[in-house]
Each structure stands twice: as structure tokens, then as C-alpha cells.
Structure 1
Amino acid sequence: MSAAKVVFNKVNKILEWFLIIIFSLLVLDVLFQVFSRYILGSSFTWTEEFARFSLIWMTILGAAYLNAKREHLSMDFLYQKLSDSNKIKASILIEILIFLFALIVMVIGGLNLVYTTLHLEQLSGTLRIPLGYIYAIMPFSGLLIMCFSVYHISNIYSNKTNQ
């Protein structure tokens, strides 16, 4: 097994466990909110904000995870009609477009958002966490998606040369 494959699998496993932890915390948070509201008769304001931030992180990291597994939503009607050589070209083009999207929107745009919110010292309403820390998941996930796209392109080329 190549070193790239080992690193790829290890990163995916870490990402998978991190997503499981975030989801578990989200479920516990919502259950606690329901319990406190209906059993204790008093709700805590921080639970709603924590749930929102957990959902943001889980969604954006989940997108990176699905990209790694190549299980993201796609419509492959036209792709299935292509010849094998054109499927390889289309796959490479798709990975390049995903790479560029992640670079421009998620990494560059995300870093700009993080910088702006940290510079303006914006804090979340209840938890008083700097919003830049919450938004930092965007460029991080973008970097992961870019790495996964490079990995997928290298796999396409190596499978092409092995045929």
C-alpha cells in the first residue's frame, strides 16, 4: 500500500470519528434542551447556539468526508453515456473543478471571512466565542477537499497507466 493511501485512510478515519463526536454532541445537546424545557421548566440559551454551530461544523466537514469517499451527490446520466477514455477525462475535469471551487470559495473566501470576523472581534451571542473560530472550519474543509481532489486525480492517472 502506498504512503499516500495510508495517509488518505488515516485522515478519513480521523474525520469519520470527529464527525461521529460532533453528531453525538449535537444529539445530546438537543436532548438536554428538550429535557430542560419540558421537564425542568427552564431552557438554557446556550444549547440552541451550540446546536447551530455543531450543525455548521458537521455539514461542512461532512462535505469534505463525502468528497474523500466520492459519495457526494452527483447526476451521472451523461457520464454513463461516455466512452471509457472520455470518462477518465471527465473525471479529471470534475476533480479540477472541485479543487478550484474549494480553493476559491472555501479556502480564500473562508480565510477572508475568518480574518474579518476575528479582526472585528465578533462574538457569538450566547457562548461569547469569537465567530472566526466557528468559521475556521470552512478553509480547513476546503484544504481537505483540495487534498482529496489531488489524491483522486493521482488515482485516476495511476489506474489509467495500469490498464
Structure 2
Amino acid sequence: MNKYEVTFNKVNKILEWFIIIIFGLLVLDVLFQVFSRYLLGTSFTWTEEFARFSLIWMTIIGAAYLNAKREHLSMDFLYQKLSLTNKRKASIVIEIFIFLFALIVMVIGGINLVYTTLHLDQLSGTLRIPLGYVYAVLPFSGFLIISFSVYHISKIYSNKNIC
């Protein structure tokens, strides 16, 4: 195992634990919301916003994690009918499209969104945190997806059996 594979595996393990922690906090938040509403007779407004932001972060970081594992949603009916050589070519083209999407939409668009919301001092409704911090997950996950795409392309080139 080379140093890139070791780094790749460590980053995946960190992402995995980060998603588990976010999910755990989301479950605790929703349980607290239900407990406070039905047993205490009062509702805390911050729990709904925290749950929404947790779900956003878990989903977008989860997309990067699934991209790393190459377990994202795909329709591979035509892909399975291709020869090994054409599968390799198709895999490279797919990774290039994923790379471009992550670069243009998630990194460039995400940085623009973060900058704009921080520059305008937009705060969340109840937690009163800058929305730029919530949106920072977009360029972060975009950079991860770009890195994973480069890693996958290098693996496809170096190993003729991987598609």
C-alpha cells in the first residue's frame, strides 16, 4: 500500500466518524425536541434549525464519502455491456465530469456563496451563527470530491483491472 492509499483510507475513516458524530447529534437533537415538546410542554426553537443544519452537513459530506467509496447512485445498464477497455475510458470520462461538477458548482460556487453570506453578515434565524459557516461545507466537500476523482483516475490508469 503506497502513501496515497494510506492517506485516502485515513481521510475516509475521518469522514466516516465525522458523519457518525453528526448523525448522533442529529438524533439527540430530535429526541430532545420531542422530549421538550411533549413532556415539558415547551418547544425550543433552536432544535429545528440545528437539525436542519446537521442534515445539510451530513448529506453533503456523505456525498463526498460515497464518492470516495465509488458507491454513489448510478445507472450502469449500458456500462456493464462495455468491454473492459471501454469501461476504463467511460470511468475516466465519468470521473472528469464529477471533477468538473465539484470544481464549478461546489468549490467555485460554494466559495462565492460563503464569501457573499459572510460579507453581508447573514445570520441564522435562531442560533444566530453566520450562515457562511453553514455553507462552508460546500467547498470543503467539493475539494474532497476533486481529490477523490484525481485518486480514482490515477487508480484506473495504474491498474488495468479497476473500472
**Amino acid in the other structure paired with 2:154:** S
Shift of residue 12, structure 1, vs aligned partner = 0.2
Instruction: In structure 1, list runs of 5 or more residues that go unmatched.
Output: none
**Amino acid in the other structure paired with 1:14:** I
Q: 2:65: which partner in 1?
A: 65
Aligned-partner Cα distance in 2 for 1:161–1:41: 61
**Amino acid in the other structure paired with 1:45:** T
Q: 1:121: which partner in 2?
A: 121
Q: 2:86: which partner in 1?
A: 86
**Amino acid in the other structure paired with 1:100:** L
Q: 2:131: which partner in 1?
A: 131
Q: 2:53: which partner in 1?
A: 53
Percentage of matched positions with identical amino acids: 84
Q: 1:36: which partner in 2?
A: 36
Aligned-partner Cα distance in 2 for 1:100–1:21: 30
Shift of residue 160, structure 1, vs aligned partner = 2.0
Aligned-partner Cα distance in 2 for 1:85–1:15: 32
Aligned-partner Cα distance in 2 for 1:43–1:158: 56
Aligned-partner Cα distance in 2 for 1:84–1:149: 20
1:111 matches 2:111: yes
Aligned-partner Cα distance in 2 for 1:33–1:64: 29
Instruction: In structure 2, list runs of 5 or more residues that go unmatched.
Output: none
List structure 1 runs of 4+ shifted beyond 3 angstroms: none
Between the two proteins, the alignment pairs up a number of residues equal to: 162
CA RMSD of aligned residues (A): 1.1
Shift of residue 161, structure 1, vs aligned partner = 8.8
Cα deviation 1:72-130 (Å, max 9, x = unaligned):
00000010011110000000000000000000000000000000000000000000000
Aligned-partner Cα distance in 1 for 2:48–2:140: 24
When normalised by structure 1's length, the TM-score is 0.98
Distance 1:80 1:161, change over 3 A: closer
Cα deviation 1:12-60 (Å, max 9, x = unaligned):
0000000000000000000000000000000100000000000000000
1:147 matches 2:147: yes
Q: 2:4: which partner in 1?
A: 4
